[in-house]
Amino acid sequence: MIYSVVGHYSLILGLCAGLILIFFSIQNFKNSNQLDTKILSFSFLQFFFVLISFLALIISFVISDFSNETVFNNSHTTKPLFYKISGTWGNHEGSLLLWLLVLTLFIFIFLLRTKNQPIRYKILTLGFQQLIIIGFFLFLIQTSNPFNYLFPAPDEGLGLNPILQDPALAIHPPILYLGYVGSSIIFSSALAATTLKMVSSSWAIHIKKWVLISWIFLTLGILLGSIWAYYELGWGGFWFWDPVENVSLMPWLALTTLLHCILVLERKEILTSWVIILSIATFTLSMCGTFLVRSGILNSVHTFANDPERGLFILIFLFALIFLSLFIFFFFHQTSKNNSSNFFWLSKETSILVNNWFMMYFLSVVLIGTVYPIFLDVISSQKISVGPPFYHKLIAPFLIPFLFAMAIGPRLKWIRSDLKDKFYLISLLIISILMSFFIIKNFNINILINSILIFSALYLFFITLRDFFIKKYKNFAQNTAHFGFSLLILSILFNNLFSSEIITNLKVGETYDNSKTKIVFESINQKKEKNYKSIIANFNITNSEGINNKLSPELRIYNQPNITTSEADIKTTLMKDKFIVINLVQNQDYFNVRYQVKPFMLWIWLSVVVISLGGLVSFLQKRI
Amino acid sequence: MKIFKNFIIILILLTFNNLHANENNERNEITKNLRCLICQGQSVYDSDSDFANSMKILVDKKLDEGLTKKEIYIYFKEKYGDWILYDPGLNKNTYLLWLLPIFIFLFGGAIIIKSFILKK
């Protein structure tokens, strides 16, 4: 009880700190010889208040204080401590509080760490950021207060959705939010820089660090979500082009485009308008994502909490931000009068433009695919589904030239270039053709587009691999990320093409046998945990090479809420995953058994880690 | 360049030679493209709900009756509407959906060429 009061009032104090900060910023902006120390203190104070509030919520969860409505809705006394804590941000109210926590932390770090930039720019960025922060405060206090009382306090809570009780999902939201919120700093800073007409190389160098931070966290956040979907949702897929997945991919695409585009701005002070538009777009897309997920407009596996009133608030807030940024962009932005915007067709600039071009295309595919069904439903009340086939058809063919551009582009010089090492480029081309040819011949791939994709991804793979040895540390960050991307495409392709699967119904003691695989359903154990009962099935699986595996998938029957989940058992090895999951068949003593062999699964995860490592290297690198 | 072209041609020829699908694959392909109507955003293939399982049996039955993939899609579309298909075909409802991204791609390319490459 007391914690809810503390949390609630400290939220209001945080909001007050925001208003005071805006007041100080205006004063300081008029008289801007040096940064007012009060600004720094209040910024810290704001972060501190939100932290108190966040800790209060965590404590409420830990002690299971059911007089708090959020705790009542999302927790239960029998839940393990770890999930009581992670349950804090496993729900709408708590996750918004986490958003706010990161927002206030980031702006404080921004003020502290930004040196060599004009004072007025820092103050203005703070001002824009405070607008966002105050918006979130109002949203939180108005429509989704995490500290609502319940009287009389219930004895027991409703419990957390069991599929959210998982270690990967406990850290997935915080990591993803670090990425989203980082993009808000980019947004505010771009608006500030536009207003002060200082979008230049030095600004690009300064903001690039923030772009990299958000990019790394966003990449890792998406990865964690994907890993979670793979083992928890029980179908062995890792990406379904589900609206909620798309919504996290869109800011990532925009941010990746920005990351490349800013390289040009760093050098040549051109493309300024484009950089600003991308900065605005990235944050707007993150907000759009929050809106679409929270408003319940989308039909998705990942929709856990929705409420139309919240949707309306976010929508209004979103429009206000878009309007503000467009206003600033059109009234303050000066296009550079630099004449050097004429690019030679074979140069690094052009290749970055090509990157931007394709990325924008991918973004538009994902965006249109996600929102088109909503609009169609509203306009003509026709319901259509846009699923994986749509995205594959529109994206896969365009990946081929994209991969080639990724291989060649980084090797070009600025301004004007011609291809060096033609011999290597062509010989690697031939090697990759031969290799893909070999793969296709041996494994009966019968789709043309896949074979060409394999070939182009292999090409990128070889070229980046060679660059590791030839160029050593030059362009190391970029090369690592591109290498990771080629590995990702290859792993996804091989995973798609060579996965095999057996679906069958078995009773205890029965055996399934085809020529390649023998599955013996040996026994069943029962186990009782604090918050669930589980049925563990033991399988013995022998494949054609005589390798024996014991796998024990589980069915968990949670008591609060009463939901049954299937826990897959996965045997991960370097080259392939063996994945087995069981389900009850209604009113029978059979179990539905699904056994999958999925090659290169581990490599999909690893390659995304490699991609973000590329970002990390670039972040740590001193600029030469 | 000539070698490259030849390779591509051989590649294409070879890939078309291997066109043979077995039935189980076809079933999977079809069920991957059908939405499980009682689930939240899962395909029939991915889901283990009763609805999905009966749909899988239905698809098998239709395949045994000798219906092609297309005919099965049409069958489900007539029964449940467009909502059930994950692959929105090209029709008057979806022209924009399919063509808008392509249009954006062409438009973007035109802007790049016009304002950066050809500009004097």
What's the pLDDT at B8?
Answer: 52
Is A270 within the bounds of a domain?
Answer: no
Q: Do A440 and B119 touch (CB under 8 A)?
A: no
Name the residue range of residue A78's domain.
1-165
Q: Is the pLDDT of residue B119 over 70?
A: no
What's the pLDDT at B6?
Answer: 54
**Model confidence pLDDT, tens digit, residues A551-560:** 999 888 887 7
| Residue at token pair 């349950």 | A87
Q: What is the DSSP string of A531-594?
A: SEEEEEEEEEEE-TT--EEEE--EEEEESSS--EEEEPEEEE-SSEEEEEEEEEPTTSS-EEEE
What's the pLDDT at A444?
Answer: 66
Q: Do B97 and A390 touch (CB under 8 A)?
A: yes
Q: Do B88 and A384 touch (CB under 8 A)?
A: yes
What confidence category does residue B100 fall into, taking pLDDT thresholds of 50, 70 and 90? very high
Boundary residue ending a domain (A150, A165, A180)? A165
Min distance B38 CA to chain A CA atoms (Å): 11
Distance in angstroms (rounded) separating the CA atoms of residues A248 and A175: 12
Of residues B98 and B14, which shows the higher confidence score? B98
Q: Is the pLDDT of residue A576 over 60?
A: yes
**Model confidence pLDDT, tens digit, residues A329-376:** 998 887 766 555 677 778 888 899 999 999 999 999 999 998 898 888
Is A532 within the bounds of a domain?
Answer: yes
- Decide: A238 and A229 in contact? Cβ < 8 Å: yes
- Decide: A176 and A85 in contact? Cβ < 8 Å: no
What confidence category does residue A21 fall into, taking pLDDT thresholds of 50, 70 and 90? very high
Min distance B41 CA to chain A CA atoms (Å): 4
Q: Do B41 and A350 touch (CB under 8 A)?
A: no
Min distance A276 CA to chain B CA atoms (Å): 17
- Tell me, yes or no, if B18 comes closer than 8 A to chain A by beta carbon: yes
Is A473 within the bounds of a domain?
Answer: no
**Model confidence pLDDT, tens digit, residues B80-98:** 888 888 888 888 888 889 9
Chain A residue closest in CA terms to B39: A301
What confidence category does residue B20 fall into, taking pLDDT thresholds of 50, 70 and 90? very low
Q: What is the mean pLDDT of the segment spanning A171-184?
A: 90
What's the pLDDT at A460?
Answer: 92
Q: What is the percent of chain A with per-residue pLDDT over 70, rounded to a whole number?
A: 95
| Vertex A67 angle, CA A61 and A69, to 5° | 75
What's the pLDDT at A447?
Answer: 74
Q: Is the pLDDT of residue B16 over 50?
A: no
What's the pLDDT at A237?
Answer: 79
What confidence category does residue B21 fall into, taking pLDDT thresholds of 50, 70 and 90? very low
What's the pLDDT at A545?
Answer: 81
Q: What's chain B's average pLDDT?
A: 78
Distance in angstroms (rounded) separating the CA atoms of residues B43 and A112: 49
What confidence category does residue B14 fall into, taking pLDDT thresholds of 50, 70 and 90? very low
Q: What is the mean pLDDT of the segment spanning A511-520?
A: 86
Q: What is the mean pLDDT of the segment spanning A453-468?
A: 90
Q: What is the mean pLDDT of the segment spanning B48-58?
A: 82
The interface residues of chain B toward chain A in range 57-76, judged by CB-CB distance below 8 A, are none
* A234 contacts in chain B (CB < 8 Å): 48
Q: Is the pLDDT of residue A624 over 70?
A: no
Of residues A142 and B9, which shows the higher confidence score? A142
Is A192 within the bounds of a domain?
Answer: no
- Decide: A192 and A124 in contact? Cβ < 8 Å: yes
Q: Is the pLDDT of residue B13 over 50?
A: no
Q: Which has the minimum average pLDDT: A228-232, A377-381, A408-412, A470-474?
A: A470-474
Long-range pairs, A534-541, Cβ under 8 A, ≥24:
A534/A567, A537/A508, A537/A582, A537/A591, A539/A580, A539/A593, A539/A595, A541/A517, A541/A578, A541/A580, A541/A595
**Model confidence pLDDT, tens digit, residues A223-265:** 998 998 888 876 667 888 888 889 899 999 999 999 999 988 8
Q: Is the pLDDT of residue B1 over 50?
A: no
**Residue among B26, B38, B40 with most chain A CBs within 10 A, to mutate:** B40
For chain A, what is the domain count? 2
Q: What is the percent of chain B with per-residue pLDDT over 90, rounded to a whole number?
A: 12
Q: Do A430 and B3 touch (CB under 8 A)?
A: yes
Is A292 within the bounds of a domain?
Answer: no
Of residues A428 and A279, which shows the higher confidence score? A279
Q: Which has the minimum average pLDDT: A225-234, A293-302, A428-437, B85-94?
A: A293-302
Chain B residue closest in CA terms to A430: B4
Of residues A443 and B109, which shows the higher confidence score? B109
- Tell me, yes or no, if A387 comes closer than 8 A to chain B by beta carbon: yes
Q: Is the pLDDT of residue A8 over 90?
A: yes
The interface residues of chain A toward chain B in range 405-434, judged by CB-CB distance below 8 A, are 429-430, 433
**Model confidence pLDDT, tens digit, residues A533-551:** 888 999 998 888 888 889 9
The interface residues of chain A toward chain B in range 294-323, judged by CB-CB distance below 8 A, are 299-303
Q: What is the percent of chain A with per-residue pLDDT over 90, rounded to a whole number?
A: 38
Chain A residue closest in CA terms to B7: A433
Q: Is the pLDDT of residue B43 over 90?
A: no
Q: What is the DSSP string of A391-404?
A: HHHHHHHHHHHHHH
Is A369 within the bounds of a domain?
Answer: no
In this complex, the residue of A235, A360, A585 whose CB is nearest that of residue B46 is A235
Q: Do B101 and A237 touch (CB under 8 A)?
A: no
Instruction: Say whether A6 sits in a helix, a strand or coil.
Output: helix
The DSSP bridge partners found for residue A532 are: A558
Distance in angstroms (rounded) separating the CA atoms of residues A358 and A398: 8
| Number of other CB atoms surrounding residue A514 within 10 Å | 10
- Decide: A217 and A176 in contact? Cβ < 8 Å: yes
What confidence category does residue A448 fall into, taking pLDDT thresholds of 50, 70 and 90? confident
* B85 contacts in chain A (CB < 8 Å): 384-385
What are A608's two structure tokens? 């995304």
- Decide: A215 and A259 in contact? Cβ < 8 Å: yes
- ipTM of the complex, rounded to two decimals: 0.85
* B104 contacts in chain A (CB < 8 Å): 360-361, 364
**Residue among B105, B107, B115, B117 with most chain A CBs within 10 A, to mutate:** B105
Q: Do B101 and A368 touch (CB under 8 A)?
A: yes
Boundary residue ending a domain (A165, A195, A218)? A165
What's the pLDDT at A364?
Answer: 96
* A345 contacts in chain B (CB < 8 Å): 117
Chain A residue closest in CA terms to B108: A357
Is A616 within the bounds of a domain?
Answer: no
Q: Does domain B22-87 fall into CATH 3.40.50.720?
A: no
Distance in angstroms (rounded) separating the CA atoms of residues A189 and A187: 5
- Tell me, yes or no, if A376 comes closer than 8 A to chain B by beta carbon: yes
* A514 contacts in chain B (CB < 8 Å): none
- Tell me, yes or no, if B20 comes closer than 8 A to chain A by beta carbon: yes
- Tell me, yes or no, if B33 comes closer than 8 A to chain A by beta carbon: yes
Boundary residue ending a domain (A165, A183, A199)? A165
Is A460 within the bounds of a domain?
Answer: no
Q: Do B28 and A430 touch (CB under 8 A)?
A: no
